[in-house]
Structure 1
Amino acid sequence: MTAPFSGDRIILRDLGFYGFHGLFAEEAKLGQRFFIDLECGVDLTASGETDAIGHTVSYADIYDVVKASFEAKRCKLIEALGHNIVAALFEQFSEISWIVIRIRKPEAPIAMVRGEAAIELHRARPL
């Protein structure tokens, strides 16, 4: 068995969504952009050897689960949003052994001249 967060992975970067997550009333009313980066630990040996989609996890299916989870419930904290997305991915795809997710909020309501607020979660599949 490989150590968590090492080995093969499926990567999705800069997934853009518009949502109403956040602590403040303005965020719930007006919404804002969010960007999600995702790495999912999946053994890609069989799919590499066979060139068959049945031996891997479809990144399109991963995207669909991320999108559905992002839109399912308004969260005050992006930490909770990330937790919900990770839980949905583990529930849907038994092949995923670990996940690293980064949620970026470029228009966070803080006095930034440039940059973004973000969180990153590292989660291994619960045993």
Structure 2
Amino acid sequence: MDKIHLNGCRFYGYHGAFKEEQTLGQIFVVDCTLSVDLQKASHSDCLEDTVHYGLVFEAIKKQVEENKYILIERLAGAICQDIFDQFPLVQAIQLKISKENPPINGHYDSVGIELERERA
């Protein structure tokens, strides 16, 4: 299956298990890989034959910036569901969400989760 990648998408949101995260917010970094059959688009050169990654970016942004979840696992699930609902050509999604500055005492680059979902 062919892939469309959106890497290092950065958004400000209010997700987390701690009250401070839900009040102060933080940056969330999202990497998204969509499995899509791109054969038709590779011949037609028509946007209608692919998935408009600008619109996918906006769908992710809306979930991260307009909603509030305790778990980033739930945020990721909501993003996947929105993508499946809005983009029928998407057959599978690999979605990674990272927090660079969670309230954890220690030294690290980031913490996060990754989901893989397939269209039912």
TM range, smaller chain: over 0.9
Runs of 5+ consecutive residues of structure 2 not aligned to the other structure:
none
Across the aligned residues of Structure 1 and Structure 2, the Cα RMSD in angstroms comes to: 0.9
The reply to whether residue 49 of structure 1 matches residue 74 of structure 2 is no
Query: Taking structure 1 as the reference length, what is the TM-score of the superposition?
Result: 0.91
4+ runs of 1 displaced by more than 3 Å?
Answer: none
2:95 corresponds, among 86, 93, 101, to: 101
Q: Distance in 2 between matches of 1:98 and 1:86?
A: 9
Q: Distance in 2 between matches of 1:15 and 1:62?
A: 11
TM-fit CA distance, 1:71:
2.4
- Within 5 Å, give how 1:5-84 maps onto structure 2: 7-84=1-78
Runs of 5+ consecutive residues of structure 1 not aligned to the other structure:
1-6
Cα distance per residue 1:24-62 (max 9 Å; x no partner): 111111111110000011110011111111111111011
Percent sequence identity over aligned pairs = 36
When you count strand as a share of all residues, which structure comes out higher?
2
- Which residue does the alignment assign to 1:117? 111
SS of residue matched to 2:55: helix
Report how many aligned residue pairs link the two structures. 120
